Amino acid sequence: TKKVVQFTATDIKEELLKKYPPKVARKRAKQIMINEATEAEPAPEIVANVRTIPGIITMRGCTYAGCKGVIMGPTRDIVNLVHGPIGCSFYAWLTRRNQTDAGTDGENYMPYCFSTDMQDQDIIFGGEKKLEAAIQEAYDLFHPKGIAVFATCPVGLIGDDIHAVAKKMKAQFGDCNVFAFSCEGYKGVSQSAGHHIANNQVFTHLVGENEVAPEGEYKINLLGEYNIGGDGFEIDRVFKKCGITNIATFSGNSSYDQFASAQHADLSCVMCHRSINYVADMLETKYGIPWIKVNFIGAEATAKSLRKIAEYFGDKKLIDRVEAVIAEEMPEVLAVSEDVKTRTNGKTAMMFVGGSRAHHYNELFQEMGMKTISAGYEFGHRDDYEGRQVIPDLKVDADSRNIEEITVVADEKLYNPRKTPEEIKALEDAGYEFKHYDGLNPDMDKGSIIIDDLNQYEAEKLVELLKPDIFCAGIKEKFSIQKLGVPMKQLHSYDSGGPYAGFKGAVNFYKEIDRLVNSKVWSYMKAPWQESPELTGKFVWE
Ligand code: CFM
Ligand code: HCA
């Protein structure tokens, strides 16, 4: 007979760790946390941004994926040339569903996969000549404004000097900016190091190149928005309606000229903090452009972010316009959420995605009355979990950042650990100005389970024990979770859906999740534990 067991977060943590050898269990224990954080209480420390324990099947990607695939990949008119084996090039080619629209006269190289297709002989004799030839070929064929070169693992191991090749070709062309990224996959513990490397090079080689300021009122940059499933298109639609001028998106549907003009903005709006905070900081340090954290995932979050932007400019015309747009957009959103809520209220979700979505999508689920019982990041840093109050005075100068510094400690230099309200007040009284941004932990319910760098074993165990109504992660998790009889939504590529950002995106998401969590199809299949039931679990809040 079936035994129904109630699990608290503490029980779950114990269950997950049970199977590991003691040393591994001790390490993993520091990355599995029962959430105690509240708005007022500093969160307990979670270990994040550390090397995955060898032998564990992580959900993470590599440094090259973070640099080429994530930051530079969505740029439509720069030739992104991968120096490496074809598999690496293919892996980072369009799988992320970052959309582009270059209009009728703009360039768009997105459908192309540029690669040097390294072979054994290039590894043995060196690949610089082949790279040079590939850059020349791309130039002859397309005459792009820029060619970006990305190193994959073997390039670093054999020592090809991609920067020297890029410099030589740039000088030779005269009218094409060629620059390179030492983003070999092994360079860091995850995609995260790749973001940092990409940010540094974009700032060094692109930002500031265009001297003429673009026209428009209320000029902003939108940092950390990659137009997955058309998210950026929806955000731009709303900006346009409000009269806000988006100079540069880093980097969904972006162009060479957008990056090159970013220094003309009055404000940087940071959507995915994890991947682009370095650029936000450098724009502030070098050009005095302040940044604020925004979030366009969720209708309420979108309204809040628009108000935040309007408040920054402080102009009545913009404030009124933003209110009018919110008033116009919200009724449809509320009508759908009210309807959907009758079927989604009280359902449970788990979310394990990159370095910001687990947090952002929490709001969307809340709008549907759903509860996130467990969530975490693949490669978030401590500040993504805890939130931070940044003191600009204590920031490292942009010029002193070098790529070798990308380690676990880099964050501690940039940000002070989360402070209590009393500590903040004392510092504010002493004249420090704080920049706040939220982390995942304070937004999650008390008693939920937060797990960093979740792996395949733990994912399946979590689902087996707690049977959430929906599990959200990426393509590697998709089918193993579905085989357990639980609907799975990809929150990286959105499967074939989207946009989920902004007002229209919220409506799309409500409908999609309603469809998934209320589908009968899952009840027709038997998961292993249903075939031979020993126990079945129910999550209870501590
Ligand atoms: Fe930022 Fe992203 Fe994410 Fe990210 Fe990514 Fe992505 Fe992601 Mo996949 S930049 S951290 S490195 S929001 S590709 S668009 S979905 S893991 S949560
Ligand atoms: C990456 C890109 C990825 C992978 C998603 C997934 C994306 O990190 O290489 O595993 O499904 O969003 O496309 O995060």
Q: Residue 269 belongs to what H/E stretch?
A: strand 267-270
Q: Is 275 in the pocket of ligand 1 (CB under 6 A)?
A: yes
d(CA 476, CA 485): 16
Q: What's residue 418's pLDDT?
A: 55
Q: Is 343 in the pocket of ligand 2 (CB under 6 A)?
A: no
Ligand 2 atom nearest 59 alpha carbon? 10
User: In the predicted model, what is the mean pLDDT of residues 160-167?
Assistant: 98
**Residue linked to tokens 């089918």:** 479
Q: Is 192 in the pocket of ligand 2 (CB under 6 A)?
A: no
Q: For 193-236, give the secondary structure using H, E and C.
A: HHHHHHHHHHHHHCCCCCCCCCCCCCEEEEEEECCECCHHHHHH
Amino acid at 103: G
C-alpha of residue 325 to centroid of ligand 1, in Å: 28
C-alpha of residue 468 to centroid of ligand 2, in Å: 22
Q: Parallel, antiparallel, or unpaired: how do β-strands 78-83 and 114-115 relate? A: parallel
User: In the predicted model, what is the mean pLDDT of residues 134-157?
Assistant: 98
d(CA 80, CA 111): 11
Mean model confidence pLDDT for the chain: 90
Residue 510 has pLDDT above 50, yes or no: yes
Sign of CA dihedral 306, 307, 311, 312: negative
C-alpha of residue 413 to centroid of ligand 2, in Å: 28
Cα-based distances in Å from 50 to 28, 75, 198, 234, 405: 11, 29, 20, 35, 14
Q: What's residue 399's pLDDT?
A: 40
| 187-233 pLDDT, tens digit each | 999 999 999 999 999 999 999 999 999 999 999 999 999 999 999 99
Residue 520 has pLDDT above 90, yes or no: yes
Q: What's residue 463's pLDDT?
A: 95
529: confidence class by pLDDT, cuts 50, 70, 90: confident
532: confidence class by pLDDT, cuts 50, 70, 90: confident
Q: Is 354 in the pocket of ligand 2 (CB under 6 A)?
A: yes
Amino acid at 463: V
Contact 109, 138 (CB under 8 A): no
Cα-based distances in Å from 95 to 73, 199, 475: 10, 21, 10
Q: Give the count of beta carbons closer than 10 Å to the beta carbon of residue 252.
A: 25
Residue 65 appears among annotated catalytic residues: yes
537: confidence class by pLDDT, cuts 50, 70, 90: confident
- Angle, CA of 60, 64 and 69, to the nearest 5°: 85
Taking the CA of 228 as reference, the closest ligand is 1
Q: What's residue 523's pLDDT?
A: 83
Instruction: Calculate the CA dihedral of residues 296, 298, 300, 305 and round it to 10 degrees.
Output: -10
Tokens of 349: 């979700």
Q: What's residue 4's pLDDT?
A: 65
Helix (H, G, I), strand (E, B), or coil: what is residue 29?
helix
Contact 161, 126 (CB under 8 A): no
Contact 91, 153 (CB under 8 A): no
Cα-based distances in Å from 147 to 77, 143, 403, 422: 9, 9, 21, 50
Instruction: Output b/e per residue, 182-209; b: 16+ Cβ within 10 A.
Output: bbbbebbbbbbbbbbbbbbbbbebbbbb
Q: What's residue 6's pLDDT?
A: 86
C-alpha of residue 211 to centroid of ligand 1, in Å: 31
Q: What's residue 541's pLDDT?
A: 83
**Global confidence as pTM:** 0.92
Contact 59, 473 (CB under 8 A): yes
The segment with the largest mean pLDDT, out of 416-420, 421-425, 487-491, 521-525, is 487-491
Residue 126 has pLDDT above 80, yes or no: yes
Ligand 1 atom nearest 353 alpha carbon? 17
403: confidence class by pLDDT, cuts 50, 70, 90: very low
Q: Is 474 in the pocket of ligand 2 (CB under 6 A)?
A: yes
Q: What's residue 405's pLDDT?
A: 34
Instruction: Output b/e per residue, 411-445; b: 16+ Cβ within 10 A.
Output: beebbbebbeeeebeebeeeeeeebebbbbbbbbe
Nearest Cα to 463, choosing from 7, 37, 3? 7
Residue 416 has pLDDT above 50, yes or no: no
Contact 223, 271 (CB under 8 A): yes
Q: Is 468 in the pocket of ligand 1 (CB under 6 A)?
A: no
Q: What's residue 245's pLDDT?
A: 98
Residue 195 appears among annotated catalytic residues: yes
Q: Is 352 in the pocket of ligand 1 (CB under 6 A)?
A: no
d(CA 146, CA 251): 15
96, 97, 274, 382: the active-site residue: 96
User: In the predicted model, what is the mean pLDDT of residues 124-130?
Assistant: 97
Residue 395 has pLDDT above 60, yes or no: no
431: confidence class by pLDDT, cuts 50, 70, 90: low
| 83 or 437, which is more confident | 83
ipTM of this model?
Answer: 0.98
Q: Is 194 in the pocket of ligand 2 (CB under 6 A)?
A: no
Q: Which of 225-229, 384-388, 435-439, 510-514 has the lowest mean pLDDT?
A: 435-439
Residue 28 appears among annotated catalytic residues: no
Taking the CA of 59 as reference, the closest ligand is 2
| 326 or 389, which is more confident | 326
Q: Is 492 in the pocket of ligand 2 (CB under 6 A)?
A: yes
Residue 410 has pLDDT above 90, yes or no: no
The set of residues, in sequence order, having a beta carbon less than 8 Å from that of 431 and lying 6+ positions away, is none
Phi, psi of 235 (to 5 degrees): -65, -40
d(CA 363, CA 370): 10
Q: What's residue 530's pLDDT?
A: 75
Which mutation among 64, 95, 274 tests ligand 2's pocket best, with the greatest number of atoms within 8 A of CB?
95
Q: Where are the alpha helices (DSSP H) in 243-272?
A: 256-261
Ligand 1 atom nearest 380 alpha carbon? 10
60, 83, 195, 381: the active-site residue: 195
Q: What is the DSSP string of 309-372?
A: HHHHHT-HHHHHHHHHHHHHHHHHHHHHHHHHHHHHTT-EEEEE-SSSHHHHHHHHHHHTT-EE
Q: What's residue 397's pLDDT?
A: 38
Q: Which of 142-146, 161-165, 277-281, 412-416 has the lowest mean pLDDT?
A: 412-416
User: In the predicted model, what is the mean pLDDT of residues 57-74?
Assistant: 97
Residue 426 appears among annotated catalytic residues: no
Q: What's residue 454's pLDDT?
A: 98
Q: What's residue 348's pLDDT?
A: 97
Taking the CA of 375 as reference, the closest ligand is 1
Phi, psi of 6 (to 5 degrees): -95, 130
Cα-based distances in Å from 237 to 64, 255, 473, 499: 32, 18, 28, 12
Contact 270, 294 (CB under 8 A): yes
Helix (H, G, I), strand (E, B), or coil: what is residue 259?
helix
